[in-house]
Amino acid sequence: MASSALKSRAATLPFSTSQTSTLLGCSEKTDFQTAALLNGIALTNADYDDTHLRTVIHPSGAVLCAILAYGELKRLSGKEILLAFVVGVEAQLRIGNSISPGHYKVGW
């Protein structure tokens, strides 16, 4: 685990409100918001990002980390998790396509 992921973990875990969602690669659990955040940081640090070239968005990581943590909390089925993942990525790409690349010129 990268240094920034370890630091983020040390900074956030003391504030965890429950143990509902797994931190990827560990048996440790935390609340779903913290799990989504820490798993997203770990995924980004490990550089497992996909890229949608037109918008330069890395869509899968944020959606995957959020839906896995939330899905575990709500005990969603594999079908529900897959559908939420597809919808989340599709939403990101549609928004990205509607604003890109002009948003870079105005400071994003």
- Rounded distance, CA 10 to CA 81, Å? 28
- Rounded distance, CA 22 to CA 8, Å? 16
pLDDT in tens, 19-35: 999 998 888 899 999 99
Which of residues 84 and 2 earns the better pLDDT score? 84
- Rounded distance, CA 21 to CA 78, Å? 15
Supply the angle between the helices 32-45 and 3-12 in degrees, to the nearest 10.
Answer: 170
pLDDT in tens, 29-72: 999 999 999 999 988 887 778 888 888 888 898 899 999 999 99
Look at the pTM and tell me if it is higher than 0.85. no
Buried (b) or exposed (e) across 42-68, using 16+ Cβ within 10 A?
A: bbbeeeeeeebeebebbbbbbbbbbbb
